[in-house]
């Protein structure tokens, strides 16, 4: 008899690529398949499939009963804040995260103002670049995690280069990095 997904730890992957079959999504799929193989339940959220409006920067955000935006961000944030593990994945755009990932990060302002912090036991970062910007993008994601977690947690990173769609699938380096990320996350979650 198979174990129910709810009885297993859950990793939610937030993918900030506009390409559902792009290099970043492929790298995440490798990591998620390995996590599933190791007994971790996974969920992949392609931010491009959702409507996430930009943060409006309300000064009174914490005093409102709910966010005034009527989009999908609250649903996504609920899933992320309930996760046992979190993967943040983005292609590198102009030496930083994609617009989709930046909108997601900014929409975490309300939970931050309400003193809600992420609860995962471990995080994974997936960053894929055509040429440059991996270090800067990883640093941006780590800054977000540092502001959003109550205490320091282990972070695994899988990064590499792929410039044309489908190139990641030919990269043994990206595959190996995704598998290492999954192994490290599973080790923490299943300990």
- Which tens digits make up the pLDDT trace of 6-52? 589 999 999 999 999 999 999 999 999 999 999 999 999 999 999 99
**Is residue 104 pLDDT above 70, yes or no?**
yes
Residue 164's domain spans which residues?
5-189
> In degrees to the nearest 10, what's the CA dihedral of 84, 86, 18, 32?
-70
Q: 142: exposed, middle or buried (C-beta count within 10 Å: 0-12, 13-18, 19+)?
A: middle
What is the tens place of the pLDDT at every residue in 134-186?
A: 999 999 999 999 999 978 889 999 999 999 999 999 999 999 999 999 999 99
Tokens of 90: 């983005």
CA-derived radius of gyration, the chain: 16
Question: Is the pTM higher than 0.85?
Answer: yes
Burial class (CB in 10 A: 0-12, 13-18, 19+), 65: exposed
Residue carrying structure tokens 């992949």: 44
Specify the number of domains making up the chain. 1
- Spatial neighbors of 174 by CB under 8 A, at least 6 apart, are 23, 27, 30, 128, 158, 160, 162, 168
- On the question of pLDDT at 191 being above 80, the answer is yes
**Residue 167, phi then psi, degrees to nearest 5:** -65, -30
The pLDDT of residue 79 is above 50 = yes
CATH number of domain containing 158? 3.40.50.360
Return the beta strands (E) in the chain as ranges.
10-15, 41-46, 85-91, 122-129, 155-161
């Amino acid at each position: 008899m198979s174990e129910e997904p709810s009885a297993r730890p859950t990793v939610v992957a937030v993918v900030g690529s506009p390409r559902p079959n792009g290099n970043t999504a492929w790298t995440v799929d490798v990591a998620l398949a390995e996590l599933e193989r190791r007994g971790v339940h996974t969920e992949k959220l392609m931010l491009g499939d959702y409507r996430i409006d930009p943060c409006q920067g309300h000064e009174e955000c914490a005093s409102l009963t709910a966010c005034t935006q009527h989009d999908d961000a609250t649903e996504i944030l609920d899933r992320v804040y309930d996760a046992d593990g979190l993967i943040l994945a983005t292609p590198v755009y102009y030496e930083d995260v994609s617009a989709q990932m930046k909108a997601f990060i900014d929409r975490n302002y309300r939970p931050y103002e309400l003193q809600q912090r992420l609860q995962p036991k471990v995080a994974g970062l997936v960053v894929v670049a055509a040429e440059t910007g991996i270090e800067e993008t990883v640093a941006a994601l780590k800054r977000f995690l540092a502001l959003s977690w109550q205490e320091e947690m282990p972070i695994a990173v899988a990064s590499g280069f792929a410039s044309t769609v489908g190139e990641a699938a030919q990269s043994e380096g990206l595959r190996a990095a995704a598998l290492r990320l999954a192994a490290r996350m599973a080790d923490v979650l299943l300990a």
